[in-house]
Structure 1
Amino acid sequence: MKILAPILLLLLVFDSCKKPESFEYRDLRNFKVDSLGFEQSAISMDLVYFNPNNFGVDLKNIDCDVYVEHNYLGKYKLDTTMHIAKKSEFVVPSKMDVNMKNLFKNTLTSIFTKELLLEVKGTTRVGKAGIYITVPFSYSGRHEFSMF
């Protein structure tokens, strides 16, 4: 098996003629506050992505930090394996504990602006045929947000 794993990895690399494309963020659905507290709150949502590649992969162990306007908002973890089909949309169910002190720092900013900077930095494990690699990722983008 130790000899077979590198051979399968090489076949996978040679099979893909081009570099795999990153998943495309599409939508946020079903946002809700699960619990509300002064120090920490819990939120959940479904994040919708699209796999533009001509091959499917397995995704597991997402671990990332979320920032709003450069202020730490909370840590997101996903410890489940999901199969993602080629050329298809997929939903990542997400739950996150939010540091309320840092959220309050963004309240004044969000009242006076229509867009907020959202940053996500972390790692995930992706693979195929039982061979997984850890892939670092970073996302930064402005998103419309309205208090009213």
Structure 2
Amino acid sequence: MAGMKKMMIALTLVAALCWSCKKPQGFEYRDTKNFRIDKLGFDRSSLMMDLVYFNPNSFGVNLKHIDCDIYVNHVYLGKYALDTVMHIDRQSEFVLPSKMEVDMKNVFKNALNVLLNPEVLVEVKGSTRLGKAGIFINVPFDYSGKQKVAFF
């Protein structure tokens, strides 16, 4: 009888834990700051920037991995990956220092369009690995929006 009581308590705790856990939502992109060219080359270049995001979840999460592809005006620009562990507070903005390798031939495809147009369409598609209490899941994201580009 004592074993049955312990099992019922354990099942009740597991059920309560499952009902209290919500699947984490993906982060919302907010802004790009401190954009700079780290290394300029004819074939490949390195870009550095700070990406500002917002955590819409009502709970803090741990960010373990980001993997995404970046497109400008529907042309593939490069891949961005971040392999680190950082805690993100609930319903807060946070900054991800980022470095990205860019294939310059794809940049040249967009160069004239970017020079003639003050806005470009930026698309970021990928996934993040988010977790809480040591349990991580992949959360896909798909951002698309116009960004102002100022050269002068």
**TM-score, structure 2 length as denominator?**
0.83
Q: CA deviation at 1:21?
A: 4.4
Bigger Cα displacement from structure 2, 21-30 vs 61-70 = 21-30
Question: Which shifted more, 92-101 or 21-30?
Answer: 21-30
1:24 aligns with 2:16: no
Partner of 1:37: 41
Q: Which one of 132, 145, 149 corresponds to residue 145 of structure 1?
A: 149
Query: Which residue does the alignment assign to 1:100?
Result: 104
2:64 is aligned with 1:66: no
Query: Does residue 59 of structure 2 align to residue 55 of structure 1?
Result: yes
Aligned-pair distance for 1:10?
7.3
1:20 is displaced (CA, Å) by 4.9
Match of 2:128 among 118, 124, 128: 124
Whole-angstrom distance in 2 between the partners of 1:10 and 1:97: 45
SS at match of 2:42: coil
Find the residue that maps to 1:79 and give its secondary structure: strand
Q: Percent identity?
A: 60
Structure 1 pair 54–31 and aligned structure 2 pair: CA distance change class (3 A): same
Question: Which 5+ residue runs of structure 2 have no aligned equivalent?
Answer: 1-9
Q: Report the CA distance between 1:24 and its aligned residue.
A: 2.4
The question of 1:15 aligning with 2:15 is answered no
Pair 1:104–1:124, CA change in 2 (3 A): same
What is the distance in 1 between the residues matched to 2:138 and 2:85?
Answer: 14
- AA partner of residue 106 (structure 2): N
What's the counterpart of residue 114 of structure 2?
110
Query: Structure 1 stretches (4+) deviating beyond 6 angstroms?
Result: 7-10
Q: String of CA shifts for 1:106-136, please: whole Å, max 9, x gaps.
A: 1110111121111111121111000001122
**What stretches of structure 1 of length at least 5 have no aligned partner?**
none
The alpha carbon displacement at 1:16 in A equals 5.0
Output the TM-score relative to the length of structure 1.
Answer: 0.85
Structure with the largest fraction of helix? 2
Pairwise CA RMSD: 2.2
Give the number of equivalent residue pairs.
141
